Amino acid sequence: MSDGSNKTLPEMTGAEALVRLLEARGVDVIFGYPGGANLPIYDALRGSTIKHILTRHEQGSVHMAEGYARVKGQAGVCLATSGPGVTNLVTGLADAYLDSIPVVALTGQIPRSMIGTDAFQEVDAFNITMPVCKHNELVKKETELVKAIDGAFYIANSGRKGPVLLDFPSDLLAETHHYDLEERCHLPGYQPTTAGNIGQIKKALKAIDQAERPLVLLGGGVSNSMAVEEFLSFVRKANIPVVRTLMATGVMSSDDPLFMGMIGTHGNGLANQMVNSQADLIMIVGAKLSNRSLMRPDLFTKGSKLIQIDIDPAEIGKTIQVDIPMVGDIRETLREVNNRIEQKPIRVDKPLWCEKKHVKSKTMLAKANEAEAMEWVFDRLSEIDQKLHVTTDVGRHQVWANHHMINPKHLPLITSGGLGTMGFGLPAAIGAWFADQETSVVNITGDGSFMMNMQEFIVAVEHQIPLTVIIINDFRLSMIRELQDSKYGQRHIAHDFNRDVDFSLLAQGMGGVGRTVFKLDDIKPALEEAIASKVPNILCIDLERLFRLSKINLVEAS
Amino acid sequence: MSVANDQRHVIAMEVEDKPGVLTRISSLFSRRGFNVESLTVGHTHKPGISRFTVVVLGEEKELEQIRKQSQKLIHVLKTCHVVDKDTLTEFELEQIGMKVKHGVMRELAIVKVHYDEQSSRPINHIVERFSARMLHWSGYDLLLEFSGTEEKIDAVFEELENVTVLESVRSGKIAMSVEPIKAV
């Protein structure tokens, strides 16, 4: 009785096979945390060319893989152990799932013979992670290991990208078998559509040509499918104004004459007016249209013809009815669209139908005093004219960064849009640096978000990453307070931390550089110094004092 | 989900017979807010390929969304929204749109009834009327098998109210579109 293995193939442990397969797929870095069940993988990593980054918490590892993937354009890899290791990954997997970021998560599982016995550090990783992954598998047989790993990278990186988790029992990793590393996955049920339907493209072009006030809604899918060039070429050829969602910051420069701003809850008035009442045709390009983007789906669809390009057929008409759907890869579809426009130009001699005004308007929420001071920080940061990868966390600073970060060298922002994960920004910045070590990284965060994953700052110190963490510190959860102001009749609870933290001292305690800024004039030199130092810095902006002092300054100056 | 427009729909799927595929499908339906009324799984003539028939309540538009989401699962090969050929008119079918396929649906039931002199007449009547098969006779209890449309099985259960039913089970619907498929 053969066990299905070919004795002529090289004999190695499951973990060795795994590491060889990762190397063959160009993986150069893994973010991980060891534990009993994944130690065989660590043992095999010792002789590998792959660099392992020891995080301080598993959640950090998956956000680092996300930041890496956002910069590199292909899957980041994270590694965790069974039980608490995998439950700590869940938030990051859900984040990657909602923002369509390719991540391959590898987890150790207890030995096959013990599965289902409530063994030490046993959780049902397969079922826990199923609803937050594009795909996942518990690899139970040696004969499935190679195919599963090949499939994981293929699935994560193709179609609508997303996280894939593979769970490996530790005995399978530790025992030897004759592995055929050249095996490839066979996925008859997975054939992501790539080329857009020609008939639909023709229909869409005709509709755009005939429309009086056409508008393009730009989503995160455009940069995910590396279609920025094709997109810009299309809107310029057709001379159509553009609005965007949160996930598409920086695809178009904010001073571009065609760019009209961001839509949604935290968008600006002009952009929302355009989608809700002015446009008679809206072409949606790679946007999932959640409740945060579509404030009034009834107005959105009323009186305007809708065209939608998306690689995921299930996104077509998910929240609104669409007139002309185009299922396909955005890059390939727009290339075809551009070719056709070149042969037969559309909208010839039609001027831009709208006027660009107050694009730099505030968010829709009531403007708080410190908000102005926050703007100063972002304006100064925008003045730093060098390439940077900028990540944000979640809260008021995220919204402001989205409106005020205008230097194209700092964009697109790496941010958690779908899940809204506080604590995303710091590890994501570290991951981004590992993908592009020539470029310094900046994490804009609030005190609340920073404290959710601040342990990862030590990783930046360990690897001497040119990272500047800008903490917009107001000693409270100010977005919560804004919501309590606007929706709960100013009944405040649980927004105030009641305890100041000396973040600069904290930075020093972790081995980095820390400083606190509370004067307007100090912002720029502090930023410049921190970024130029190329070492891990924490720059704590004391928002309240900054605003108070500046008012005094203003009075004194007058 | 509005209750008023809720209709019963059938989604038929061909899937790869991989571990966890039942959970993937059932959890997808539950997290997207659908109540599964019945779910039937079985092997097909092709090795490694299983067939699911899921009956759910919901609006037409939402059903199309859940069908697409199911189709995205890596191990799902084909999905098809089937409507009962016998219960909808051509006009209604047209209203629903092109993506829906005409189909036939059947259900199976096994019933254990107490059989004695007194109940013999009504049971014989049911057996004859619904062409039941007699599967087992223990000397006291009789096992009967019924198959047919859901309406027929409903009618069987109505008739059974007149006799002593000890145990019963319904398989849930299985469905197949009647549209021709080119041999591959």
**Which structure tokens are listed for A3?**
């066990």
Of A138, A190, A318, the CB nearest to B74: A190
Per residue in B130-176, pLDDT tens?
Answer: 999 999 999 999 999 999 998 999 999 999 998 999 999 999 999 88
For residue B52, list chain A residues with Cβ-Cβ distance below 8 A: none
Q: Which CATH number fits domain B7-84: 3.40.50.300, 1.10.540.10, 3.30.70.260, 3.20.20.70?
A: 3.30.70.260
Distances A365 to A368, A445, A474, B62, B146 between C-alpha atoms, Å: 9, 19, 17, 33, 64
Of A189, A313, A314, the CB nearest to B75: A189
Residues 22..81 of B with a Cβ closer than 8 Å to A: which?
Answer: 23-24, 27-28, 31, 61, 64-65, 68-69, 71-77
CATH topology (fold) of B105-170: Alpha-Beta Plaits (3.30.70)
Question: Is-contact B24 B73, C-beta < 8 A?
Answer: yes
Contact check, Cβ <8 Å, B68/A190:
no
For residue A312, list chain B residues with Cβ-Cβ distance below 8 A: 72
Contact check, Cβ <8 Å, A318/B76:
no
CB of A314 within 8 Å of a chain B CB? The answer is yes
CB of A155 within 8 Å of a chain B CB? The answer is yes
Kindly report the backbone phi and psi dihedral angles of residue B20, in degrees, each rounded to the nearest multiple of 5, phi listed first. 85, 0
For residue A188, list chain B residues with Cβ-Cβ distance below 8 A: 16, 77
Read off the pTM.
0.90
Of A140, A155, A317, the CB nearest to B74: A155
For residue B20, list chain A residues with Cβ-Cβ distance below 8 A: 126-127, 130, 138
Contact check, Cβ <8 Å, B19/A313:
no
Contact check, Cβ <8 Å, B27/A155:
no
Of A135, A312, A317, the CB nearest to B74: A135
Q: Cα separation of B97 and B35, whole Å?
A: 23
**Which structure tokens are listed for A307?**
């065209």
Interface probe, candidates A141, A318, A321, chain B, greatest B C-beta count within 10 A: A318
Q: Which of A61, A75, A93, A64 is nearest to A27 (CA)?
A: A75
Long-range contact set of residues A503-506: C-beta below 8 Å, sequence gap at least 24: A503/A447, A503/A450, A503/A471, A503/A473, A503/A538, A503/A540, A504/A538, A504/A540, A506/A454, A506/A538
Q: Which of A131, A137, A132 is nearest to A151 (CA)?
A: A137
Of A138, A188, A318, the CB nearest to B65: A318
Direct distance between the N- and C-terminal alpha carbons of chain B, in angstroms, rounded to an integer: 40
- Backbone dihedral region of A139: left (phi > 0), alpha (psi from -120 to 50 degrees) or beta? beta
Q: Cα separation of A466 and A441, whole Å?
A: 6
Kindly report the backbone phi and psi dihedral angles of residue A300, in degrees, each rounded to the nearest multiple of 5, phi listed first. -60, -45
Q: Which amino acid is at A175?
A: E
Q: Cα separation of B151 and A151, whole Å?
A: 45
Residue of chain A whose alpha carbon sits nearest to that of B72: A190
Distances A179 to A7, A79, A103 between C-alpha atoms, Å: 9, 22, 25
- Backbone dihedral region of A347: left (phi > 0), alpha (psi from -120 to 50 degrees) or beta? left
Query: A202: which residues sit within 8 A by CB, 6+ positions away?
Result: A340
Of A131, A189, A314, the CB nearest to B74: A189
State the nearest Cα–Cα gap between B69 and chain A, in angstroms: 6
Of A188, A314, A317, the CB nearest to B77: A188
User: Which residues face A244 on adjacent strands?
Assistant: A218, A262
Q: Which amino acid is at A454?
A: M
Question: Is-contact A354 A282, C-beta < 8 A?
Answer: no
pLDDT digit string (tens) for chain A, length 558 residues = 345 567 889 999 999 999 999 999 999 999 999 999 999 999 999 989 999 999 999 999 999 999 999 999 999 999 999 999 999 999 999 999 999 999 999 999 999 999 999 999 999 999 999 999 999 999 999 999 999 999 999 999 999 999 999 999 999 999 999 999 999 999 999 988 778 889 999 999 999 999 999 999 999 999 888 899 999 999 999 999 999 998 888 888 888 889 988 888 888 888 888 888 889 999 999 998 888 888 778 887 788 899 999 999 889 888 888 999 999 999 999 999 999 999 988 888 888 888 776 544 444 444 446 677 788 889 899 999 999 999 999 998 998 888 888 888 888 899 999 999 999 999 999 999 999 999 999 999 999 999 999 999 999 999 999 999 999 998 899 899 989 998 999 999 999 998 889 999 999 999 999 999 988 889 999 999 999 999 999 999 998 888 777 665 555 554
Q: Which of A269, A525, A226, A478 is nearest to A374 (CA)?
A: A478
Per-position DSSP letters for A525-548, written without gaps between them: HHHHHHHHHTS-EEEEEEHHHHHH
For residue B68, list chain A residues with Cβ-Cβ distance below 8 A: 313-314, 316
Q: Which of B71, B20, B68, B76 is nearest to A129 (CA)?
A: B20
The packing angle between helices A142-157 and A14-24, to 10°, is 30
Direct distance between the N- and C-terminal alpha carbons of chain A, in angstroms, rounded to an integer: 93
Q: Which CATH number fits domain A11-178: 3.40.50.150, 3.30.565.10, 3.40.50.970, 3.30.310.10?
A: 3.40.50.970
Contact check, Cβ <8 Å, B24/A130:
yes
Q: Which of A450, A445, A454, A496 is nearest to A475 (CA)?
A: A496
**Which structure tokens are listed for A400?**
């402001």
Angle at A398 between CA A396 and CA A402, to 5 degrees: 120
For residue B24, list chain A residues with Cβ-Cβ distance below 8 A: 130
Residue with the two structure tokens 């994981």: A152
Average pLDDT (B33-44) is: 91
CB of A154 within 8 Å of a chain B CB? The answer is no
Angle at B37 between CA B34 and CA B42, to 5 degrees: 110
A509 half-sphere exposure, CB direction, 13 A CA radius: 8
Contact check, Cβ <8 Å, B68/A313:
yes
Query: A179: which residues sit within 8 A by CB, 6+ positions away?
Result: A9, A10, A11, A12, A14, A17, A142, A145, A146
Domain extents for chain A? 11-178, 198-343, 369-557
Task: For B103-164, give the secondary structure using H, E and C.
Answer: EEEEEEEEEEEECCHHHHHHHHHHHHHCCCEEEEECCCEEEEEEEECHHHHHHHHHHHHHCC
Contact check, Cβ <8 Å, A130/B69:
no
Contact check, Cβ <8 Å, A188/B16:
yes
What CATH number belongs to A369-557?
3.40.50.970
Per-position DSSP letters for A189-243, written without gaps between them: T-----SPPHHHHHHHHHHHHH-SSEEEEE-THHHHTT-HHHHHHHHHHHT--EE
**Which structure tokens are listed for A81?**
């152990």
Three-class SS state of A382: helix
What is the second-level CATH architecture of the domain A198-343?
3-Layer(aba) Sandwich (3.40)
Q: Give 3-state DSSP helix, strand, coil % of chain B, rounded to 5.
A: 30, 40, 30
Interface probe, candidates B74, B78, B99, B184, chain A, greatest A C-beta count within 10 A: B74
Domain extents for chain B? 7-84, 105-170
